[in-house]
Amino acid sequence: MLVPMKILIDHAMKHQYGVGAFNANNMEQIQAIMEAARETDSPVIIQASRGALQYSQFTFFKYLILAAEEAYPEIPFAVHLDHGNNLEAVKKAIDLGFTSVMIDGSLREDGKTVSSYEYNVQVTKSVVDYAHQYGVTVEGEIGTLGGLEDGVGSGEIHLTDPAEAKKFVAETGLDALAVAIGTSHGAYKFASTPILELGVVKEIKSLMPDLPLVMHGASSVPQELTDKINQYGGKMPGAKGVPTTSIREAINLGIAKINVDTDGRMAVTATIREIFHNHPEKFDPRDYLKPAREALKELVAARMKDFGASGHGREINNDGA
């Protein structure tokens, strides 16, 4: 059941759990995400970046989503544009049937240059005015994350100012707000013990208790996957991701949507590297894509349980979403 993302994040806020938002580029990833949602009875958000849509040639992604809706009618899910950079990108996603879009006005259109507050308000408001005509949920961002992922990121961390966030929401009318609390995109988030500024979440929720908040850069970068990738020929230096304990604490404070991309990439890559190393005679793509799909499904299912989403899919269906 394809629904506006607002239905999912509002339900998550009401019942104090987090909805996992998992990035996908191809059929196997979408199948893995939806299978995990079925296995755990969880609502879920499938995300696609602008790069992912270009990779899948836009129309293919549209019909993969329609196939997911047909194959998993009992799963409430949303399809979300991750880090849209302008109104035209948003329009394209809505034309493809996306039920939610993010406009990242914290950066200029190049996806790298930190913008001004005024620019962020202007571009976010234009997206809200357009998307709400179609019942599409809008996520915006105030503050910036570190790191770089899929060509997006300034490499600078600017923590969200709670008072500015309240003003931003009032001036734009958005539905969900991505906040900067010290996380980063990509695999290399923290060189040592991860520290998140969860007080920022707490203060924002005290000012806007009904607003769903979003955590970007929330992959945990499991050490076992880093080791496995390196064991079979990879070159990933050690790095620390966001501990699941910190994510659960953030959910308790008001985070309703948790973005995960890097962990999924690592699960797929580690599995394929192992197969190529142990079975160099293999040349049928099904021999490595099927196990990679299963590994991703297991990771996504584990994250859904970590976020407390298990069992809530049926609840949303019963509520008439």
Rounded distance between C-alpha atoms, residue 111 and residue 93, angstroms: 17
Strands 19-23, 255-260: pairing is parallel
Query: Distance from CA of residue 124 to its chain's centroid?
Result: 19
Catalytic entry in 10, 41, 82, 150 = 82
3-state secondary structure of 47: strand
Residues in contact with 156: Cβ distance below 8 Å, sequence separation at least 6, in sequence order: 114, 144, 146
> Where do the DSSP E strands lie in 184-298?
213-215, 255-260
* Catalytic site includes residue 110: no
Would you say 227 and 210 are in contact if contact means Cβ atoms under 8 Å apart?
Answer: no
Cα 143–Cα 193–Cα 237 angle in degrees, nearest 5: 90
Cα 173–Cα 179–Cα 184 angle in degrees, nearest 5: 145
**What is the DSSP annotation of 275-290?**
HHHH-TT---THHHHH
**β-strand partners of 158:** 144
Which amino acids are annotated catalytic? 82
